[in-house]
Amino acid sequence: MAKPKIDRRTLLKNSLSVFKSKGYTATSMSDLANASGLLKGSMYHYIDSKEQLMLEVLNSLMDHYINKVFITAYDEELSPYDRLFLLSKKAEEIYIYEDAGNFFANIGLETKNLNLGFEKVIQEFFEKWIATVEYIYTYVVSEEDAHVKAESVVAQIEGAVLLMKVMDDAGHLRRVLAGILVEYKELEKENSVK
Amino acid sequence: MAKPKIDRRTLLKNSLSVFKSKGYTATSMSDLANASGLLKGSMYHYIDSKEQLMLEVLNSLMDHYINKVFITAYDEELSPYDRLFLLSKKAEEIYIYEDAGNFFANIGLETKNLNLGFEKVIQEFFEKWIATVEYIYTYVVSEEDAHVKAESVVAQIEGAVLLMKVMDDAGHLRRVLAGILVEYKELEKENSVK
Amino acid sequence: MAKPKIDRRTLLKNSLSVFKSKGYTATSMSDLANASGLLKGSMYHYIDSKEQLMLEVLNSLMDHYINKVFITAYDEELSPYDRLFLLSKKAEEIYIYEDAGNFFANIGLETKNLNLGFEKVIQEFFEKWIATVEYIYTYVVSEEDAHVKAESVVAQIEGAVLLMKVMDDAGHLRRVLAGILVEYKELEKENSVK
Amino acid sequence: MAKPKIDRRTLLKNSLSVFKSKGYTATSMSDLANASGLLKGSMYHYIDSKEQLMLEVLNSLMDHYINKVFITAYDEELSPYDRLFLLSKKAEEIYIYEDAGNFFANIGLETKNLNLGFEKVIQEFFEKWIATVEYIYTYVVSEEDAHVKAESVVAQIEGAVLLMKVMDDAGHLRRVLAGILVEYKELEKENSVK
DNA sequence: AATGAATGAGAATTCATTCAT
DNA sequence: AATGAATGAATTCTCATTCAT
């Protein structure tokens, strides 16, 4: 029994899925091991501790967002609106279909006062996300307004996702995403007029 | 050895404060007992279980919101705008100064898949909150729009609070609250014009 | 089941006996609990950790030596020789019949590089022991010589105990103790002659 | 993948060094593997078990003492005193500079009641050591006295080493070794007179 | 041989809960 | 009621050992 039962990526994916469902504290090493068909003890071949595993999960998830999602914002072959549109589609997928809730937000809230060292990655994720949205808004408003706008967009989505999770109703998130797109179109018009 | 060391209200207040800081799972009965100057074992004179204690905390907190906060919306002696203004002031206090984060949202997210039976109270809290805001909006928009608007306002605040907690920056929440008031004023004008 | 199954002194005594037999590292919390008729988990009512338990055991054992054994050296009602004689009898009991090996030495050696914080108490024990023997020797030799002599006596006894344990033969320790007494008598004579 | 990373002698030397520092129980197979630049699993190409490894370490260390240290006692080209002098120099080196504590004594004490099967080698070591010293004393005292003397010398050295380790002071060991030499000289004189 | 992983027992410790005093 | 202890399951993590590649 020498060959790895599982590759690191799969391990991280499985762990993410357990953490998503039960949060950090309520997830036990047993849960994580089970999710990957390993024994508790075998987990420690792959990781140093539960804490470090979560950190790696957060980091790899952030990489995914940066390289697969946020990158859309910088695709100069597309119009700014189309980029925002694609981002919103991806957001819908992520939040509604992948049930990713918002993992970063959830874990951030749960572990804020637990001194587990996740804060840095989580803040970074939000900074990156805001920067992404901000970039698209620089096409239609001033740099300064773009930042405020981006923060507002991110907050609105987060709020909508939260409401969706807690109220078990995805309608609101869809409306929020639609609203953001409509408003962007208007900003584009105002901008072109000037 | 007969007299209670602590009254129920204080016990609930103390427990809330611990739960706020550490969440549900990471809070131990010892933590809760300590917070009230009791020993672990003595807690069971007041409560049946940790789960039931949290439920009671959630319920009493909801009562507080209904009777002390949301009630403002129905105070016919004040103009609708003033009611919204007061609500927003209270929100600021609650979120920024009391560091209540948003307890309902946090606990809801953390325990969503843990089958602890908190979902009902938490949903109810959000329904009540939305209904409250909705009521104020019925003065300036249609019933239907008022509901959508209320959901949006609540989501925006939740999102802003989340961002505030995770990013350690209260600025955004203040802007959101201010924005909501400004927009309401405009809706009032539009409405009166018609 | 509320009344203590065991008083602290007995717990310490039982723990000492397990530690004596297996050393620090090889002794498990289960071993310690069993020795006192407790469950593993119940041990933590009495102690904070295995490390702290050992520290308490060492401290209480040192107290015992100071108050019950070393004190003999300062009993002015007895002649210095008689004090040394009594000490040697007690040493024989301790080492041969109580199988205390030399607990301080054993634990000291075993844990020297393990950074467990036992070094201070252990050093203190040996300092106290040497000081005790030294005091008796001040009656028959100079202060300076008394210290060297005391160190030598303690070392000889320790060495003999060690040999006894490792070789399963108590004869040598008896000879060493006897030799020490004989030599003291001679020193007394020399001293009175002068 | 065929050539050994390490020769057996080096492996034993490295293992000895770890065992010296942490003792038997507290040393893990990982520690031992690391010390030789191997992975835990690779250790089992060289050894059967941790227990057997320690046994081999003890045996090879004893061989070393017999062939490199104790042998001096039988070198008929030197005067008995010079042999004792050389032995004492070697002892000083071993104990003070090599920090070998006394490995046999330490391991013997630590594992006495652990039924690991080290007792035989350890006893043998001490028997050989005593026999060695005894042989030198037969030049100056009767056979019987030589044995008692040898035991006493070994015990004194062991005791001094122990004190040195526990008290972090090498002075006493040096005095003990010097004292042994002085006394031997005197015995030589007494003996030649008769 | 060396490796990297798996194994399963066992380590120390914490936990929610119960209960006699 | 309050306490202090007991309980036993569960927690994170480590260990010696085995084994397929």
Would you call B163 and A154 a contact, using CB atoms and an 8 Å cutoff? yes
Q: In chain A, which residues have their Cβ closer than 8 Å to the Cβ of B162?
A: 105, 109, 155, 158-159, 162
pLDDT > 70: what percent of chain B? 96
Q: Is residue D193 over pLDDT 60?
A: no
- What pLDDT was estimated at residue A189? 94
pLDDT > 70: what percent of chain D? 96
- What pLDDT was estimated at residue C5? 81
pLDDT digits 0-9 by tens, A43-66: 999 999 999 999 999 999 999 999
Mean pLDDT within C137-158: 94
Measured to protein CB atoms, the chain F nucleotides within 7 Å are: 1-21
Whether the CB-CB separation of D181 and D84 falls below 8 Å is answered with: yes
Q: Is residue A192 over pLDDT 80?
A: no
Mean pLDDT within D139-153: 94
Identify the residue whose tokens are 């034993």: D12
- What pLDDT was estimated at residue A3? 75
Q: Is residue D2 over pLDDT 70?
A: no
- What pLDDT was estimated at residue B1? 47
Query: Which of D17, D130, D153, D167 is best to mutate for the C interface (most C CBs within 10 A)?
Result: D167
Measured to protein CB atoms, the chain E nucleotides within 7 Å are: 1-21
| Residue B21 backbone dihedrals phi, psi, to 5 degrees | -80, -35
Q: In chain B, which residues have their Cβ closer than 8 Å to the Cβ of A160?
A: 155, 159
Residue type, C106: N
Count the Cβ atoms, other than its own, within 10 Å of residue A76: 7
Mean pLDDT within D113-136: 96
> Measured in angstroms, what separates residue A90's CA from nucleotide E13's C1'?
44
pLDDT digits 0-9 by tens, D32-70: 999 999 999 999 999 999 999 999 999 999 999 999 999
CB within 8 Å of A140: residues ≥ 6 apart: A80, A184, A187, A188, A190, A191
Q: Which nucleotide is nearest to A52 (CA to C1')?
A: F12
- What pLDDT was estimated at residue D138? 97
Q: Is residue D131 over pLDDT 90?
A: yes
Give CA separation, B82 vs B79, B92, B161, in Å: 5, 15, 22
Beta strands in chain D (DSSP E): none
pLDDT > 70: what percent of chain A? 96
Whether the CB-CB separation of B106 and A109 falls below 8 Å is answered with: yes
pLDDT digits 0-9 by tens, C40-94: 999 999 999 999 999 999 999 999 999 999 999 999 999 999 999 999 999 888 8
Q: What does the DSSP 8-state code read for residue B139? A: T
Mean pLDDT of chain D: 92
Q: Is residue D12 over pLDDT 50?
A: yes
- What pLDDT was estimated at residue C31? 97
- What pLDDT was estimated at residue D94? 83
Mean pLDDT within B25-31: 97
- What pLDDT was estimated at residue D1? 47
- What pLDDT was estimated at residue B185? 96
- Interface residues of B toward A, Cβ cutoff 8 Å, are 21-23, 25-26, 101, 104-106, 108-114, 119, 122-123, 126-127, 148, 151-152, 154-160, 162-163, 165-168, 172, 175-176, 179
pLDDT > 70: what percent of chain C? 96
Here the tokens at position B1 are: 């050895």
Q: Is residue D118 over pLDDT 90?
A: yes
Mean pLDDT within A101-115: 92
| Residue B140 backbone dihedrals phi, psi, to 5 degrees | -125, -15
Whether the CB-CB separation of D159 and D175 falls below 8 Å is answered with: no
- Nearest protein residue to nucleotide E5 (CA to C1' distance) is A2
pLDDT digits 0-9 by tens, D58-114: 999 999 999 999 999 999 999 999 999 999 999 888 887 776 668 999 999 999 999
Q: Using alpha carbons only, give the angle C151, C154, C155 rounded to the nearest 5 degrees.
A: 80
Mean pLDDT within A158-183: 91
Q: Which nucleotide is nearest to C44 (CA to C1')?
A: E13
- What pLDDT was estimated at residue D97? 75
The structural domains of chain D, ordered by start, are 1-47 (1.10.10.60), 51-193 (1.10.357.10)
- Please identify residues in chain C, positions 42-101, with a C-beta within 7 angstroms of any atom of strand F: 42, 45-46
Would you call C163 and D158 a contact, using CB atoms and an 8 Å cutoff? yes
Cα Dmax for chain B: 71
Task: Identify the band that residue B70 occupies on the pLDDT scale cut at 50, 70 and 90.
Answer: very high
Mean pLDDT within A111-130: 95
Q: Give the N- to C-terminal CA distance of chain B in Å, as an integer.
A: 71
pLDDT > 90: what percent of chain C? 84
H helix and E strand count, chain A:
9, 0
Q: Is residue A1 over pLDDT 70?
A: no
Would you call B114 and A22 a contact, using CB atoms and an 8 Å cutoff? yes
Q: Is residue C194 over pLDDT 60?
A: no
CA B95, B99, B104, B107: dihedral to nearest 10 degrees? 150
Task: Identify the band that residue C96 occupies on the pLDDT scale cut at 50, 70 and 90.
Answer: confident
Q: Is residue B170 over pLDDT 50?
A: yes
Residue type, B168: D
- What pLDDT was estimated at residue C4? 79
CA distance D133 to D83: 10
| Residue D98 backbone dihedrals phi, psi, to 5 degrees | -85, -5
